[in-house]
Structure 1
Amino acid sequence: MFVIGLTGGIGTGKTQVSEILSELGATIINADLVGHEAYLPNTQTFNDVVDAFGSDIVSESGEIDRRKLGPIVFADPKAMDRLNAIMHPRIFDMIKERIGVMAGEGIDRIVVEAAILIEAGWTPLADEIWVTTSPEDAVIARLRERNNMDEETARSRIASQMSQEERASHADAVIVNDQGLDELRKHVEDTWRQRAPSQT
């Protein structure tokens, strides 16, 4: 079994790379979706988050309302640290369990797509770390078009993350997204052929 940890800053093309890897035969585990599952009611994680931040974050439907939780943790680094201390180990365990189930089913090439793979300490889940990078001006243009952000907000969001250079320093492979989708696809396919062991 071969597990790729795929990460990259906002707007660098992570999801596009993940989709290409899926087309090449990899099975994708999206850490964001796993995180959503971790928040579900009647779980220990749900109880821990509500205990930490109060019942006001629970919606009328009985679920954690991220629109209420978000402003609390984004305004207070200590609150964010408290949330991460609850969520990161739980998501790690859920992904690890999912990888184990897939291995038992004979799935041999897996991609864990996670924006915070390095920051959250999830790199032990993967055999290799692949990082997407893109020129900052291109990232800003994507965020303005895709997320409807103004330039100041886009720059602030980028600045709040680990730098592309630091992230790339952890990488076994760097996927540079700077020449359009066709070139990106070629780069991913070449990297896949070179680095993903062929399975029999």
Structure 2
Amino acid sequence: MRVLGLTGGIGSGKSTAAAVLAGMGVPVVDADQVARRLQQRGAPGWRRVRELFGWPVLRADGELDRPRLARWIFTDPQQRARLDAALHPLIGAAIREDLQELEAHGADTAVLVAPLLFESGLDRLCRQVWVVEAPFALILERLRARGLAEADARARMAAQMAPAERRRRAQLVIPNGGSREELAARVQAAWQRFQEDAR
């Protein structure tokens, strides 16, 4: 099965691009959704996080306090590295299982959308990697609209791979500085080329 990797920094629009592809009937595996599944109360990722950081990262109902954990790890690179080392193998294994299940059900192509595609080594699963990019000021505006304080938004952006390095490692860069319709048109055109290259 051919796997197309889709990545980009926070607020870049990669999830919107993935939604465009899903709307075209393309199977999508979302690494963030896989991570959330693995971090539900009692799941393997939840147990790893609890072992690493203890009860302070849990809410009263036992679920992970994700906003609190995010604020912590995005201001402490060492703790973020510990968390990544604990979770990336679990997430990677679950993603491989999801892709194998899609293939077993007849899918010949799938999209893997992951913010840490390169950092986690998941790009090795992909025939091509596309990067969605947006201007810095627009990303800040989007993150503020989500309720993130500017300092938190900047911390998350600073913790990610540099845009230039993503561009260097990708086969295609999709600019996303305009409307959703403009992004959709670029994604659809890129998908058509990707399909034609496979023939």
Contact 1:2–1:197 under 8 Å retained in 2: no
3-state DSSP class of the match of 2:63? coil
- Once the 2 structures are TM-superposed, how far is the Cα of residue 41 of structure 1 from its aligned partner? 3.2
Aligned length: 199
Query: Aligned partner of 1:162: which letter?
Result: M
Distance 2:140 2:173 in 1: 20
Contact 1:5–1:112 under 8 Å retained in 2: yes
Greater shift, 90-99 or 51-60, is seen at 51-60
- Once the 2 structures are TM-superposed, how far is the Cα of residue 26 of structure 1 from its aligned partner? 0.8
Distance change >3 Å, CA 186–CA 9, structure 1 → 2 = same
- The TM-score, its normalising length taken from structure 1, stands at 0.87
Query: Aligned partner of 1:14: which letter?
Result: K
Distance 1:29 1:171 in 2: 19
Partner of 1:161: 160
Distance change >3 Å, CA 80–CA 195, structure 1 → 2 = same
Contact 2:40–2:64 under 8 Å retained in 1: yes
Distance 2:99 2:196 in 1: 17
- Once the 2 structures are TM-superposed, how far is the Cα of residue 174 of structure 1 from its aligned partner? 1.2
Greater shift, 134-143 or 163-172, is seen at 134-143
Give unmatched runs, 5+ long, in structure 2: none
Contact 1:2–1:196 under 8 Å retained in 2: no
Deviations 1:64-88 (A, max 9, x none): 3224433443343222111111111
Distance 1:44 1:79 in 2: 19
Contact 1:27–1:110 under 8 Å retained in 2: yes
Deviations 1:120-152 (A, max 9, x none): 2211222211100122232233333x3244555
Partner of 1:25: 25
Deviations 1:27-74 (A, max 9, x none): 111111110111123333332222221133333323232244334433
Counterparts of 1:7-22 in structure 2 under 5 Å? 7-22=7-22
Distance change >3 Å, CA 79–CA 105, structure 1 → 2 = same
Partner of 2:103: 103
- Once the 2 structures are TM-superposed, how far is the Cα of residue 185 of structure 1 from its aligned partner? 1.7
Partner of 2:5: 5
Give unmatched runs, 5+ long, in structure 1: none
Query: Aligned partner of 2:7: which letter?
Result: T
Distance change >3 Å, CA 69–CA 2, structure 1 → 2 = same
Partner of 2:169: 170
Q: Does 1:179 align with 2:178?
A: yes
Q: Does 1:136 align with 2:113?
A: no
- Once the 2 structures are TM-superposed, how far is the Cα of residue 166 of structure 1 from its aligned partner? 1.3
Distance change >3 Å, CA 153–CA 35, structure 1 → 2 = closer
CA RMSD of aligned residues (A): 2.3
Contact 2:132–2:174 under 8 Å retained in 1: yes
